[in-house]
Structure 1
């Protein structure tokens, strides 16, 4: 489990695609997140939970990306030298600064616009209507692994405000309109809908 508090911006150093191109193996530089990493650990890469498969000992780690993950996330867009948000899994007893983030991407959104303020940016992100139902004003959403508070929501988009720290310490500081981002809605909303629907309360 993660909290959506990005620890560092890493860099994709290499991508190896499988024989048919449907899967990939990433080499990512992230000196902080690998400082205490072990084989089999989970690291969030721009909101996608990936398993560490190799640790060369030079500040990088390898992770395999399955076809399902590539199809359902914006990791399909990354290339060599692409920046990515990195976060280690939450340790037992760790500080819980964001919200419950599983690293299981629900869909891909698109940055529609960004309006710079005196010290922040207001960003509008488009999403599929089937995901918008889980997004609530003043609720939480993970955007490329970043825990953010929703400022407003429509049937096709939502807004977030990015404080200076988010602008400086995550990839959202430089993404322009048209860029795709990974979205993970609040898992509590999904479980609530599931429980109500199976109980016949929600149809």
Structure 2
């Protein structure tokens, strides 16, 4: 389980196509806290650390299913990713409950400045938008955010300077794919009332 509070902006140093999937190599100071088999959220996708653990690098295998259902297939060497280690039982839950199970991929539709904040509109499939409510929680590329508006085909989030500076969302441009994880509580509520 994660909180959606990004702990580091990692750099993808290598992507090796294994034929069955890809292995990412990521540089981050968080690598020193990882052992083989540990979970790590990469742009909101829960992956398992393999090989190269420790020091400044860690590896993670990404299976074809994950490549199809997330934006990880669009990564390139030299790109940056949002990283978060899993929540410990003694940690504060400062964001919201994020599982690292991406529900779908959206696309940045527009961005605009609003004082010191930046509004980002994200197009999303109606099957996901039904779980998105104004002032509700959503994870975008693993970042815990509050929804500021909802339209028929999109929702909007408002980024504070800290989020702009410390996550990949600060460089989000129209057309860029982003991983979306809706609030898991909304899915359970829907199941209960059916």
1:47/1:182 contact within 8 Å kept: yes
Which residue of 1 is the match for residue 116 of structure 2?
119
1:38/1:55 contact within 8 Å kept: no
CA distance in 2, matches of 1:151, 1:117: 12
1:133/1:155 contact within 8 Å kept: no
In the alignment, structure 1 residue 53 sits paired with structure 2 residue 34: no
Deviations 1:118-166 (A, max 9, x none): 2110111000011000001000000000000001112210011000000
Deviations 1:34-86 (A, max 9, x none): 22211111100000000011234331101100111000000011010110000
Which residue of 2 is the match for residue 8 of structure 1?
8
Which residue of 2 is the match for residue 201 of structure 1?
none
CA distance in 2, matches of 1:162, 1:169: 11
Paired residue secondary structure (1:14): strand
Query: Deviation of residue 193 (structure 1)?
Result: 1.2
TM-score, length of structure 2 as denominator length: 0.97
Which residue of 2 is the match for residue 80 of structure 1?
77
TM-score, length of structure 1 as denominator length: 0.93
Which residue of 2 is the match for residue 36 of structure 1?
33
Query: Deviation of residue 177 (structure 1)?
Result: 0.7
- Could you list the runs of 4 or more consecutive aligned residues of structure 1 that deviate by over 4 angstroms after TM superposition? none
Matching residue within 155, 163, 166 for 2:163 = 166
Query: Deviation of residue 92 (structure 1)?
Result: 1.1
Paired residue secondary structure (2:190): helix
Paired residue secondary structure (2:11): strand
1:140/1:148 contact within 8 Å kept: yes
Query: Deviation of residue 23 (structure 1)?
Result: 1.1
The structure-2 alpha-carbon separation of the partners of 1:56 and 1:89, relative to structure 1 and needing over 3 Å to count, comes to closer
Which residue of 2 is the match for residue 71 of structure 1?
68
Query: Which residues of structure 1 form unaligned runs of 5+?
Result: 198-203
